[in-house]
Amino acid sequence: MAMIPLRQKITIRRSNGETDEWGNPIGITETEYACRADEGSFLVQDQNGNEIMTSLKVYLEGLIDVSYTDQIEFNNEAGIVINREPQKIQVLRDFSGFPLFTVVYV
C-alpha cells in the first residue's frame, strides 16, 4: 500500500523503435498505472541541465521503468488530456535505499 493515495491513472506508451514506411511507430506497448498526479507549474532541470516549466508531476509507487522517449497520457477530472514525453524522471528512496516512488515531470 502506498504512503499517499494513488487515485488517478496514467498510460505509458513505449515504441520498440520500429517504424512503418511513412515513419509512424509500430509495435507500441501500453501500460496503465495507478498514480498521484499533481497539476501546476513546476520549474525543473531536464536531463540536459536546462531549466524548464512542466505542468504535471506524477508519483508512481515503486521503481517503474520509464524512459525519456515514452509517451505519458493523463486524463484529469475535467476531461483535459495531457499527452507528452517525460522531462525529468527521479526515484525517491527511503533511508535504507528501497525505492518508494518514481516521480515523473511531464
Q: What is the mean pLDDT of each run of 10 residues along the chain (106 residues)?
A: 90 89 86 98 95 98 96 96 97 97 98
pLDDT computed for residue 93 by the predictor: 97
Residue 3 lies in a domain: no
Phi, psi of 23 (to 5 degrees): 90, 5
Residue 25 lies in a domain: yes
Q: What are 18's three cell numbers?
A: 520500429
With cell 511507430, the residue in question is: 25
Residue 23 lies in a domain: yes
pLDDT computed for residue 75 by the predictor: 98
Residue 2 lies in a domain: no
Parent domain of 94? 8-105
Residue type, 41: S
Residue 31 lies in a domain: yes
Residue 48 lies in a domain: yes
pLDDT computed for residue 23 by the predictor: 82
CATH number, domain with residue 12: 2.40.10
pLDDT computed for residue 27 by the predictor: 83
β-bridge pairing 71-75 and 51-61: unpaired
Residue 1 lies in a domain: no
What is the tally of structural domains in the chain? 1
